[in-house]
Chain A
Amino acid sequence: MFISSRFKRTELAEPGGKGNFPPKLLIFPQFLSRLPPFLFLITSLSPEPNPSIPVFRSNFITCFPSVSLPFRSVFPFAASTLQQFTGAVAKMVTAAVENQESDMVEGNEQKPKNIVSDGFDANYLKIYYGKLFPHADFFKWMSYGNDGKHPGSDQSYFGRREFSFTLDNDIYLRFQSFNSLSEMENSIKEKCPFKIDIGPVYSVDPAKRHAYAGDNVFTPVERELVFDIDMTDYDDVRYCCSGADVCLDCWPLMTAAIKVIDTTLRDDFGFNHILWVFSGRRGVHCWVCDGKARRLSNEQRAAIAEYFHLYQGNESSRKKISLTGPVLHPFLARSYIEVLKDSFESQLLCSQKIFSTEERYEKILDMIHDESITSELRGRWQDNRRPSKNDVNSVRWEQLKNMLQSGKHKAKGTRRHVEEIVFSFTYPRLDLEVTKHMNHLLKAPFCVHPKTGRICVPIDPEHCDEFDPTTVPTVAQLLEELNAADMEVDSETDWDRTSLGESIRFFRSSFLQPLLKSCKEEIESSHNLKVQQSKNSLSW
C-alpha cells in the first residue's frame, strides 16, 4: 500500500509552517516487514526563519512515538511543539486514510518496488540533500584550490560563482552565490532545489551585481568549457525510441559522442581534467575544468565548437553530412577509424535495424547521388524476400559498401559515401550555443532529475561502454538502500552505503584529486611568478 496525500495548509496547525506547502505524507509499506511503519512528513522551512516561531529543522519525522527513529535525526524543538505536531500528523493520517481511495496509486500491490524506485518526489530531495549529496566534494571542485591557505589562492573565487536554483512550482532563483561550504550546504538543504545549475564565475559577487549596474564591471570571467549532448537531437537516426526516452539500443550514440569528444579534447586540445556526467534522462554533459579551459574567451569557445561541428544538413537537403575534399581532417579520420565505424557496424546497424524496411533503406539510398548504384541496390533489396541466416542489416550494409567501394564506382565521387553514411548516423550532435558562451547555465552533477528521479552521476569515459542509463540509481532507490543499511555507521559516509558510493568514489579519484593537484601547482607557480616579478620591479 502506498499512500500519498496532499493537505491544505489550514488543515495543519503546524507551527512555523511558512515553508513550501502542501507537505506530503508518505507511508512506505514495504518497510513493514523489517521496520515498524513510519511516516515521513517533510516540512519545508520558511526562507527567513522567525526566531520566535519554532521551526522544524528535520527532514523527516516518525509519527509513531513508540518506534525508534530510523535515522539519527535531530529535532531541535521543544516537547510541547512535538506534541502539537504529532497531533497535527494524527489528523493528517486520518485524512489520508479517508482519502485513500482517490489517492491510491493503481496497481501498486503488484509491483510496489517500482513505485518507489521510479517515482520522484520533492520529499526525497530533502533527504537526498541532507544525507547523500556530496556538498564538500562539490565545494572543493568549484573552488579549484582557492579554498586553501596558500597566499596565492583567491579567497573570493567560490563566492563569485553563480548558482541558480529551480524550486518546486518552477520558481527560478538566479544569481545565488555562497561564500563558504556551509553557506552553500545550508542553502541547498533549505531551499531543496529541484535543479541546481552552475553558471560562470563573475568579476564580482553575483549577488551584489546590482551595485555595479551600468559599469560593465559585472561580467563573467571564468567558466568551465561545457558540452551538452541530448538524445532528442538524434531522433532522425534512432528507431527504438524518440523524444525523452532512451534505451540500451540508442545509448551507443551517446557512448560514441563521449569517445569522440573526450579523445579530441585530450589529444587535440591538450585538456586533462574532463568530467562526463549523465544528464539524468536522455543525454550527457561534459565539463572541461583545466585552468586553460576555464579562462577561454567566447571566441575561443566558439572555435572549439566549430572544430567539432559538422554541417548536418536540414530537412530539405538529401544528405545529412557531406564530406568534401580529397581527404578527411586528421581529427575526423581518427574519429571515424577509432570510434564511429565500429559503433555503427557492430552496434547501431543491427540494434537500430537501419536497413530493415524500405522506408529506412530509402533514406540511405537517398544519400547516394548515383542512380545506377541506388537502383541496383534497390532492386536486390526489394526482391530479397528469402530469410537469410545473417542479419539483414549487416548483409545490406556489406552490399552497399562493396558497391560503393568497388573499382567500378570509385572514381565517380562516391568514395566518400560510406563515411558520410556512418557520420550521419553516429557523429556527435552538439548543442553549440551551450559551448560557445561563457554564461550559459548547465545542470550540476549529482542533481536529481525531476522527471526520472535518477541521479546525474559521472560517467567514466574510459569505460563508457559499460554505462547503462537504465540502471542509474534513482533517489528513491538510494533512500531505500539507506534504510536497509546498518543504522549504526557514522552518518558522514551515508552515501557509502548506497549505490551512489561508487559514483562519488570515481568522482574523487579520477576527477577531483588530479584536478586539485594541478590547481595547487598552478596557484603556486603563478604566485611564484608574481613574487618574482614584484621583486624584479623593486630592484629596478
Chain B
Amino acid sequence: MEPYRPQGKSSITTSSTTNLPLYRSAPPLEVKLEDFELYAIDRLRVLKGISDGLSRGKKSEEMEERVRELWNTNMKHPQASEDVNKDIISHFVLRLVYCRTEELRKWFLSMETILFRHRFLYAGSESQKQVVAELGLPYKPISYAEFEAVKDKLVQVARLFGLTVPSGDAIYYKVPWEEVPELVAGRRIFLHKGYAYITMYQVVSLAATQFRSYLSKALSLTNRKWTSTIREQEKNRLTPIVEALCTSYLGPDYSQLREYGDVSIKDLDQIAKSSFPLCMRHLFEKLKEDHHLKHGGRMQLGLFLKGVGLKLDDALAFWKAEFSQRVGAERFDKEYAYSIRHNYGKEGKRVDYSPYCCQKIISSSPSVGDHHGCPYRHFSEDNLRAALGKMGVNNRTMDDIMDKVRNRHYQLACTLTFESIHGLSCDAGINHPNQYFIDSQKVLQSKNNSTA
C-alpha cells in the first residue's frame, strides 16, 4: 500500500523524550494507509470510551481508571518504540476527521483535552516539567527552602478545599498571579508578593487549558486546509476514509445473527412488545397502524429486523402483508420488494447492509410523515412521556429519563428505560438497537430459565 506523508512539513521536531506529545507539528513519518486507518480507529475507541464514561456520569476516580485502561488496551503498539508514533499519527488523522464541522471539532476538542489531562497527571514529574516548559507556562517549581517558609499557608489553603495536605515532596509552582485569574478569584491559592503558589493539580488544569486553546486553533486551521486542498487532492485515497471514520460505529456489527437463530413472523408481535427499543417499537406500531412506512422508516426497521433474525423470505412476507393492505400486492412487488432484497444484499451492489447504530439513528433528521429516528431525541416531551408510560416506565424513572434527554444524553435515556423495564442495570449502556434487543432477550431467557 502506498505510504502517506502528512501535510505538516515542519522538519524540526523537538527530539522530545517525553511520552506526552503536544502535537505541535505533524510527524515527518511515512505511514501505511492501513495504519492510517487502524491507528485512528484505535484512538477513536479511547475517545469514545471517555465520552461514554462522561455521559454516564462516572466519577473522576472511575474516569482515571477508565482512561488508563482504554489507553493501554488500544494504544500500545507491539513495538514499544512505535508507541509515540502511533500516538502522534492517530491524533493527526483524527484531527483531519474531526476538523470538518463545528460539532465534530467540539467533541474532539473536549475528548482530547480530557485525555491529555489524565495522561499529564500520570506522566511523572520530569515529563510534567517538560510539558510545562514546552507549553511556555511561566511556572517555576519552588525550592524546598521556599516551601518550608510558606508551608503553613499552603496547608491552610489545601485544607480549605479538602485537598491532601502537602507534604515535603509535594510539588508547588510559583506563578505571577496575573496568569491564573480564575484561581485568584476563587481564593483557591495562596498569594504572596504577587505570586500565586499553585499545586501540581492546578498546574494540570492550566496546562490542559493551554493545550485546549492551542488545539482549538489548530483544528480550525486544519479545517481550512481540508476544505481548500486536502479533500480534493485526496478524494480517491484519504477522503473516503476520513469521511467514514467519524460516523464509524465501533461495536459489533449485528448484521448476521450469531447465537439467536431465526425469528419467525408470528413471534414478531410478541418480541416487539418485550424486547424492541422504543425507536423500533414505534416504527413497528406505526407500520401496523398505517400499513405503510416511508423510506427512512423502512430502512431503519428493515435492517433492524434483519439483525433480529428475520430471514429474507419472512421479511418479504411481513412487509407485503402490511403494505398490500394499503397499496395492493402488485404495487408492493413492483415498488417495495426491491429495496427489501437490497437490504439483504440480494439486489444492486449486493452489499450486506448493517443495521443502524444508535448514533446514526440519533443523528438522522426525520421530517413530516417520517417515523424513524430516535424518540428520545425526536419526540416532544409529552409524546415521549406517553410512549414510555405505555412501555411501563414508572414516574420516578421517567423524570430521570427526561433529565438525560434535556442534557441530550439520548442513549443514556434509552439505557435507563432498559433498566427500568428489565429491572436490572445495563453497565455497557445502549449503543445499538440490536444490542438492546439481544440484551433484552438474554434477560428474559434467564428469567424464564430460573422460573422454570
Residues of A with Cβ closer than 8 Å to B? Answer: 267-271, 292, 296, 299-300, 302-304, 306-307, 325-333
Contact = CB atoms under 8 A, between A and B. Distances in A.
Given A329-B156, A333-B156, A270 B181 contact: no
Contact of B185 (A269, A296, A307, A327): A307
B156 A330 contact: yes
Interface in B139-161: 153, 156-157, 159-161
B160 A307 contact: no
B369 interface: no
Interface string B166-192: 000000000001100110111100111
Contacts, number: 57
A300 B186 CA distance: 12
Contacts of B159: 325-327
A296 B178 contact: yes
Interface in B161-217: 161, 177-178, 181-182, 184-187, 190-195
A326 B163 CA distance: 12
Given A329-B160, A331-B191, 18 more contacts: A267-B192, A268-B193, A270-B195, A292-B194, A296-B178, A299-B181, A302-B181, A303-B177, A303-B181, A303-B184, A307-B185, A325-B159, A326-B159, A328-B160, A329-B156, A330-B190, A331-B187, A332-B187
B333 to A, nearest CB: 68
A299 B153 CA distance: 25
B153 A330 contact: yes
Nearest to B154: A330
A268 B187 contact: no
Given A303-B182, A303-B185, A307-B184, A268 B156 contact: no
Contacts of B193: 267-268, 270
Contacts of A327: 156, 159-160
Given A296-B178, A299-B181, A307 B187 contact: yes
Given A268-B192, A270-B194, A329 B181 contact: no
A292 B179 CA distance: 12
Nearest to A295: B178
Contact of B157 (A292, A302, A330): A330
A303 B187 CA distance: 9
A106 B328 CA distance: 109
Contact of A269 (B157, B190, B194): B194
Contacts of A270: 177, 192-195
Contacts of A292: 178, 194
A269 B160 contact: no
Contacts of A328: 156, 160
A303 B160 CA distance: 19
A497 to B, nearest CB: 42
Given A326-B159, A327-B156, A327-B160, A300 B181 contact: yes
B185 A306 contact: yes
Nearest to A310: B187
28 contacts: A267-B192, A267-B193, A268-B192, A270-B177, A270-B192, A270-B193, A270-B194, A270-B195, A296-B178, A299-B181, A300-B178, A303-B177, A303-B182, A303-B184, A304-B184, A306-B185, A306-B186, A307-B184, A325-B159, A325-B161, A326-B159, A327-B156, A328-B160, A329-B157, A329-B187, A330-B153, A331-B187, A332-B187
B177 to A, nearest CB: 7
A312 to B, nearest CB: 16
A331 B184 CA distance: 12
Contacts of B195: 270
Contacts of B187: 307, 329, 331-332
A222 B181 CA distance: 18
B156 A269 contact: no
Nearest to A333: B156
A306 B184 contact: yes
A329 B188 CA distance: 9
Nearest to B178: A300
Contacts of A302: 181, 185
A269 B177 contact: yes
Closest 5 CB pairs of A and B: A270-B194, A303-B181, A306-B185, A268-B191, A303-B184
